[in-house]
Structure 1
Amino acid sequence: MLINFTVGNYRSFKEKKTLSMEATAIKELKESVIVKDGYKLLPSAVIYGANSSGKSNFLKAIDKFKEIVITSSKLNSTDKLDITPFLLNENTAKEPSYFEVELLIDSTVYTYGFMADNERVHEEWLYEKKGKKEICLFVRTEEGIGVTDDYPEGKGLEERVRDNGLFLAVVDSFNGKIAKEIISKFSDIIPISGIDHEHWFRFTNNMCKELDYQEEILDFLTSMNVGFDNFEIPADEEVAKRVKAYTIHHLHNDKGDITGEKRFSMIEHESSGTNKLFDLAALVIAVLAIGQVLVIDELDSKLHPLLTQHIISMFNDPEKNPNGAQLIFATHDTNLLNVKTFRRDQIWFTEKDPTEATDLYSLVEFKEPDGTKIRNDRSFEKDYIKGRYGAIPYIKD
């Protein structure tokens, strides 16, 4: 499970900023907190902020981190890492970007990170924590790589890493057990766009055909009252012709009696919101079943607020989320800003300072002018719209 993710000097993030999925000591919605191996972790987190405030950049940082880790072993020595630092400062524009993740894997906490620019990896590190004791497994600096005696799987591989490659990926390629466990967990982090989601319908189709998940997917869709009673997956040749699926509707006579069925093309006849729900249905179900981390930019796009809230509630409900899946998303939907949907430590904001650098902060950290923290009986939505927490657009008259 994800405990923390930190990024610095990447796109609009100049300083290091951390989004924490570790639950604080507040009392609201205790039932939604995931208790595992002595840790109390959050099943979801939402990020609010004005347009161009850095919400998407933070989610892109997670995506870039995963991409670099997963593809490192496949790169050639001349390949670029495609990393963009904070360019609005003379110094940071020349410095490497910072990425670090803290993961809980089988009662062990691993802290892994690296600093890299477009050309090469400058630093890299891995720490392991069992109970209260944290030990260093390896550290990479400009001078070289130091592997401790607690990390024998990395011994003898120090010279096999390229300048633009990760040492963790090298150890994984030589079947290092710890490296393999960590990298496999990075594969469980799934960043997607809530706007550009159309290609995910193939995953839904395959889940229906190959794993017989049609009933579960239908339950997911009908629970949100999408208007049809069933659906059919098209043949492969129809998919090639841009047929996503067929929805089955009841035919009625003038008395309202059901007299038959009518089949519609989902792309041609159903709403864009219904199409989005179908595209993402299998993904949401799979993430909840396996216990993965789903990262979505613009989750609310094309969806009614109640439908967005329903998806969030599936992650926040221990019965529907028994394996500790986590949802991190950005939105402008202020209807979700209420104490019945989120704890204060699940609500995050992004705001740019006068130098156009993004700040990231949680509502639970926010303090009133008198130094007191925000109470849980306040109207979060009303206060946010009024600018109480910042992170809103200021429109010139």
Structure 2
Amino acid sequence: MLLRFRTANVRSLRDEQELSFVAPPSEAAASARTVETGAGEDIDVYPVLGIFGANASGKSNVLTAMVQMRNAVLNSYAQWASYRGIPREVFALDAKAVEESSFFEVDVLLDGVRWTYGFELGPERVTGEWLHSYPQGRRQVWMDRDVEREDEFRFPGTRIKDRARLARTTRPNALFLSRAATDNHPQLLPLFYWFQRNLWLINPEDDRSQREAYTAQQLSSVRRERIEELLRVADLGITGVRIDPRADAEGRVQLLHEGHQGTAAAFDWEHESFGTRSWFALLGPVLLALDEGAVLLLDELDSSLHPRMAAEVIRLFRDPMVNAGGAQLVFTTHDVAVLQTPAGVRLLDPGQIWLTEKDRTGATELYPLTAAEPGEEEDLPRSYLSGAFGGVPAVTEGQVGRRLLATQEREAAEHV
């Protein structure tokens, strides 16, 4: 379970930013779940976080930074050997950022124990890496790496076996955790597996065909009945799914639509609407995350989905009966309709709502709605759209049209 994520100098995230699933102690977190930390105390953790903000404010960059951390853990030892330095995407609007490190850190719960793992990536090598555990609430430093020291690696105590050999064989541009995983290190492999099983990104514009193929593959598994039911309940006119084993991969799945007098008609896949295909492609990854208790990242939740269906995705993760495995969802959206139901009931607590804004230097600031201290009865969609919380375009009503008209008038005057 993910508790917190921190990052800096990644795309528009210039200074350190934090995204936290931990509910503020001052908030009555109706959506949060109480979990044990192994320290004799409980904390409330959200299953869903939503990131809102104007276009180009950095919402997607938060998810990208999480994926980049995952990719570094999974690939730095096996794949970065071919790089002369380290593949990074630093803050582009400050020349100094190229020479500065990019920072990544997570707090996670593994088997009821909190762990903090992080690293810093310079242009040529890993400049820092650390791993801390908190059994019984007291910090244990398992590993500390600092390129500025003569002894780059330090291992207080004797907690990590074979540590000297692993440190000696870790390349400057590879992570110690990645190196240890290649040896199936028994103590560190669970943390590596956490990154392997979590932080999956779904972007509506990328890899949709792969997600469609994955969902189609799941129709031959125990998830078929749930996939068909979620297709029917989406009010798309779909009554079932037919699989043609003789067809190629793209034509194998046909969705059955309700026809005249109870008949069913199967459409060719390319004739299905973009919204139907988007919903179908989403089902496989969502069900996998729910079954695995994993962290799913969903960019532009509202893309091609009706607001009510977007809200239903949120409810899947909020419902402790449906989401018995403790899966978590981080999504970005522009659609304020997911903030509350048509009846005015809040779908998300203020602590689950995060906003992004860019400052004058083009750097993104990420902050929770709780920082704006909304009232208990406040209409969140209305206040958000009015700019009371920030995170909206600095455009007044009718400004686009007025600017366009003024430009047209100047162009006409120039050609007289």
TM-score (norm 1): 0.92
Alpha-carbon distance in 1 for matches of 2:123, 2:275: 38
For 1:172, the aligned partner's letter is A
Query: Which residue of 1 is the match for residue 74 of structure 2?
Result: 70
Deviations 1:39-91 (A, max 9, x none): 32100000011111111111100111101111123125342532121132243
| Residue 61 of structure 1: aligned partner | 65
1:348 aligned residue (316, 330, 354): 354
Q: What pairs up with 1:92-131 in 2 under 5 angstroms?
A: 92-131=97-136
Q: Is the 8 A contact 1:56 1:297 kept in 2?
A: yes
Tell me the residue number matched to 2:175.
166
Distance 1:236 1:82 in 2: 43
Structure 2 unmatched ranges of 5 or more: 37-41, 404-416
Q: Distance in 2 between matches of 1:335 and 1:185?
A: 33
- Paired with 1:146 and 1:188, the residues of 2 have a C-alpha distance of 28
Is 2:195 the partner of 1:179? no
2:407 is matched with none
Distance of aligned partners of 1:228 and 1:76 in 2 relative to their CA distance in 1, 3 Å threshold = closer
Separation in 1, partners of 2:191, 2:102: 21
1:369 paired residue number: none
Question: 3-state SS of the aligned residue for 1:302?
Answer: coil
| Percent sequence identity over aligned pairs | 30
Give CA-to-partner distance per residue, 1:284-333, whole Å, 9 cap, x none: 11111110000011111000000000010000011110110000011011
Structure 1 pair 236–375 and aligned structure 2 pair: CA distance change class (3 A): farther
**Cα distance in structure 1, aligned partners of 2:246 and 2:133:** 47
2:257 is matched with 249
Q: Distance in 2 between matches of 1:336 and 1:198?
A: 27
Change (3 A) 1:151 1:9: same
Q: Deviations along 1:346-389, whole A, 9 cap, x unmatched? A: 000000011111000000122xxxxxx22221011111111111
Query: Could you say if the C-alpha distance between residues 159 and 264 of structure 1 is closer, same or farther in structure 2, counting changes exceeding 3 Å?
Result: same
2:253 counterpart letter in structure 1 = A
Cα 1:178–1:34 shift into 2, 3 Å = farther
- Following TM superposition, by how much is the alpha carbon of 1:237 offset from its aligned partner in structure 2, in angstroms? 4.0
CA 1:76–1:347 in 2, change beyond 3 Å: closer, same or farther? Answer: closer
In the alignment, residue 267 of structure 2 is paired with which amino acid?
F
Q: Partner residue of 1:195?
A: 205
Partner of 2:381: 381
Within 1, Cα distance between the matches of 2:173 and 2:62? Answer: 23
- Paired with 1:198 and 1:236, the residues of 2 have a C-alpha distance of 19
Separation of aligned partners in 1, 2:66 and 2:138 = 27
Q: Could you say if the C-alpha distance between residues 49 and 360 of structure 1 is closer, same or farther in structure 2, counting changes exceeding 3 Å?
A: same
CA distance in 2 between counterparts of 1:90 and 1:215 reads: 54
- Opposite residue 213 of structure 2, the aligned amino acid is R
The answer to whether residue 152 in structure 2 is matched with residue 152 in structure 1 is no
Please give the secondary structure, in 2, of the residue aligned with 1:69: helix
Deviation at 1:175, TM superposition (A): 2.4
> What residue ranges of structure 1 are gaps of 5+ in the alignment?
367-372
1:306 lines up with 2:305 in the alignment: no
The CA deviation string for residues 261-285 of structure 1, in whole angstroms up to 9 with x for no partner, is 32112331x2211111111112111
The corresponding residue for 2:408 is none
Asked if 1:261 corresponds to 2:264, the answer is: yes
Of the three residues 285, 288, 291, the one matched with 1:286 is 288
Which residue does the alignment assign to 1:34? Answer: 33
CA contact (8 A) 2:48 2:328 kept: yes
**Residue 236 (structure 1) shift:** 6.4
Secondary structure of the corresponding residue to residue 314 of structure 1: helix
In 2, distance between residues paired with 1:331 and 1:236? 40
Change (3 A) 1:236 1:28: farther
Three-state SS of the structure 2 residue aligned to 1:152 is: coil
How many residue pairs get matched? 381
What are the superposed Cα offsets for residues 240-262 of structure 1, whole Å, 9 maximum, x if unpaired? xx32621112332xxxx33x332
Is contact 2:129–2:144 with CA below 8 Å preserved after alignment? yes
Counterparts of 1:322 and 1:62, CA distance in 2: 24
Aligned partner (choices 225, 234, 239) of residue 224 of structure 1: 234
Question: Is the 1:244–1:265 Cα contact (8 Å) retained in structure 2?
Answer: no
